[in-house]
Amino acid sequence: MQEITISEVQIIPIKPKEGLVGFASVVFNDCLYLGSIGIYTHPEGGFRLTYPTRKAGTTNINVFYPIRKEVAITLEKVIIGKFEEVMKKYVGYDKTNIR
């Protein structure tokens, strides 16, 4: 399998709403832009990612999502790490109380 590289990580924090705290975009393997990745607080603590869908009638269709566990883990580590780095710049940020 080709090595996984994630570059050009962009984080857009938002005012928390129903667990959504921000959006991320990344460049995957220097050849694919992935955007509109939701960053949510996880009910047990920490964060989780959601990937974009589009509504077609009454069905939600996945736009993209990782199908290999190692890709999902790499995306989570890079995006959540960058999100926490960005949020540390805000006064009063504490990852245990963001919701």
Q: What is the pLDDT of residue 90?
A: 76
Residue 74 lies in a domain: yes
In three-state secondary structure terms, 80 is: helix
Residue 95 lies in a domain: no
Instruction: Give the chain's length.
Output: 99
Q: What is the pLDDT of residue 40?
A: 97
Sheet with 32-41, strands from edge to edge, namely 6-17, 20-28, 32-41, 47-50
Residue 96 lies in a domain: no
Count of beta carbons in the 10 Å neighbourhood of residue 89: 8
Give the global pTM: 0.86
> In CATH, what number is assigned to the domain containing residue 15?
3.30.1120.40
Q: Which domain does 48 fall in, by range?
A: 6-87
Please report how many Cα atoms fall inside a 13 Å half-sphere around the Cα of residue 44, on the Cβ side: 1
Residue 53 lies in a domain: yes
Ranges of residues in the chain whose predicted pLDDT is under 70: 1, 91-99
Residue 92 lies in a domain: no
Domain count, the chain: 1
Q: What is the pLDDT of residue 98?
A: 61
Contact status, residue 98 vs residue 16, Cβ threshold 8 Å: yes
Strands (E), the chain: 6-17, 20-28, 32-41, 47-50, 53-56, 59-62
Residue 93 lies in a domain: no
Count of beta carbons in the 10 Å neighbourhood of residue 37: 19
Residue 99 lies in a domain: no
Q: What is the pLDDT of residue 2?
A: 74
Residue 45 lies in a domain: yes
